[in-house]
A and B are shown apart, each in its own frame.
Chain A
Amino acid sequence: MTVRIQAASFDLGAEVQGFAAKQTEAGAVVNFTGIVRNTAAGDLDRMEIEHYPGMTEIALAGIDAKATQRWSLKDSLIIHRFGTLRPGDMIMMVATASPHRVDAFEAAQYLMDYLKSRAPFWKKEFTTDGAEWVEAKPIDEKALTRWQ
């Protein structure tokens, strides 16, 4: 398991390639990548992501440990950026490796669901109308109930 919290961008192809190449017991690798979505009006100038250094790593390691208990997860990689991002920029990625694909898919979804509402990140959107903190959506909280 690897968790990286960074301001810098990352090379998605190289990360997934490197992750897949080092697996010795897996037969399936799943990757999810989150990118900065523009507003419906298309006026997003930038997004600023704040996080809680220290707790972020602990929270992600905890989520990952639970996923490892639940599925046959051989390895995982989580990269999450903070700082200033523009529409289309990659925010984060998750990769999972398991012997068979169902575990890799489900574990990736689990990691994403928990990462969205249990990892200490906050997004602020800057548009031509001003700045606003992104509010947590009830649907994201509800997504966790399927794993309980």
Chain B
Amino acid sequence: MIDVLYFAWVRERIGLPKEQVETTAATVADLVAELELREERYAAAFEDISALRVAVDQELCDFDTPLAGVREVAFFPPMTGG
């Protein structure tokens, strides 16, 4: 079970900030592929992966990052701090 978090317009498109996902996905990209198949709102959020960033256990990562032992994955658009 992995906690999956969504921020900014990713959260708005999917319609929730956080959910627990039962998955056997090996990598972040595999998890995205699983989520995309769920419903249209997920497909809409993950339509253009190049517009997204991902953090694995609160650290910025690539989409090919393995999920073994991971507790938390977050998806969000490029950050706009400052």
Question: Which residues of A have CB within 8 Å of B50?
Answer: none
Asked whether, in the complex, the Cβ of A58 is within 8 Å of the Cβ of B80, the reply is no
Asked whether, in the complex, the Cβ of B59 is within 8 Å of the Cβ of A122, the reply is no
Given contacts A50-B7, A52-B7, A55-B74, contact A122 B58 (CB under 8 A): no
Given contacts A55-B55, A55-B74, A133-B8, contact A121 B80 (CB under 8 A): yes
B interface residues, Cβ below 8 angstroms from A: 5, 7-9, 55, 58-60, 74, 76-82
**Majority DSSP secondary structure for residues of A touching B:** mixed
Asked whether, in the complex, the Cβ of B8 is within 8 Å of the Cβ of A34, the reply is no
A-B contact pairs, 20 of them (CB 8 A): A54-B58, A55-B74, A59-B60, A80-B81, A91-B82, A117-B80, A119-B79, A119-B81, A120-B7, A121-B79, A121-B81, A122-B7, A122-B77, A124-B8, A133-B8, A133-B77, A133-B80, A135-B78, A136-B77, A141-B78
